[in-house]
Amino acid sequence: MIKVISMELVTSVVNADDFGLNSTVNHAIIESFRKGLINSTTLMANMPGFDEAIELAHNDKIYNNIGIHLNITEGIPLTDEIKSLPYLFNKKENSSTKRLRKLFFINKYNQKLIYKEYSAQIKKLKSHGLIITHLDTHHQVHDMWSIMNIMIALMKDHSIPSMRILNNLEHSTLFYKNVYRNVINNFLKIKKVNFTDFLGNQNDFKRMLAKYPMLMKNKKVEIMVHPKFNSAGKLVDIIGGNEFDLQRYL
């Protein structure tokens, strides 16, 4: 396990994505809370494990540690209008699709449909007594400029304090990608809506902390994890389809 500079210098939010995806993921996330491996999760409103996730959240009293994992790329939408967008919904398979490039520039009408779907998901969480801590998105679609602006509007309209920034601990080999992420993250900080100062998975975090040990001094870091039980029943973090130990960063 990596030695963090000091818990006084680095404030960690270890957030488990995909709460509500299915029963297996739900129980992996609850076990991660119980073991003190995570202190936050984001819940999907339109997936099969939602009702169970709500019950588990109340039973384990983690309802104050839950944000929303906004989702238009998997499962069945809560609103009907968005199903008219072929790049977001496959009527034959009755499921959302993952065609991310189509999301970068979206006309105003389609933006309204996405806003309405996201808004319905937020209202569904709130109707179950959850105070939403922050917004993030399934498959990180808020990397797209149009989606990010929709999220800023949602925060204002639903009184949600912050949203996930773009991954700035993963250093891409593509120069334009790093520049774009920095520009967006600075924009979010200027608007004072950023959930943290840094974001990345545990491998990004360990690599950057080893290379630049003082980079995160007095900063707030979100470590994004995807807990799951592997075939041996061990609790692991899935990164890029591979298993890694779910380590303690709190």
Alpha carbon of residue 237 to chain centroid: 15
Spatial separation of the C-alpha atoms in residues 177 and 172, rounded to whole Å: 7
140, 223, 39, 35: CA torsion to nearest 10: 120
* Beta-carbon contacts of residue 246 (< 8 Å; ≥ 6 apart): 32, 37, 225, 227, 235, 236, 237
Report DSSP letters for 128-170, one per residue. Answer: TT-----EEEGGGGGGSHHHHHHHHHHHHHHT---B-----SS
Spatial separation of the C-alpha atoms in residues 239 and 47, rounded to whole Å: 21
Give pLDDT tens digits for 84-141: 988 888 887 888 887 777 788 889 999 999 999 999 999 999 999 999 999 999 999 9
Give pLDDT tens digits for 168-185: 998 777 888 889 999 999
Return the half-sphere exposure (C-beta side, CA atoms, 13 A cut-off) of residue 109.
3
Asked if pLDDT for residue 243 goes beyond 90, the answer is yes
Going from N- to C-terminal start, the domains of the chain cover: 10-245
Compute the mean pLDDT over every residue in the chain, rounded to the nearest whole number.
92
47 neighbors 22 (Cβ within 8 angstroms): yes
- Name the one residue in this structure whose structure tokens are 């990164």: 239
68 neighbors 45 (Cβ within 8 angstroms): yes
Does the domain at 10-245 match CATH 3.40.50.300? Answer given as no
Give pLDDT tens digits for 9-68: 568 899 999 999 999 999 999 999 999 999 999 999 999 999 999 999 999 999 999 999
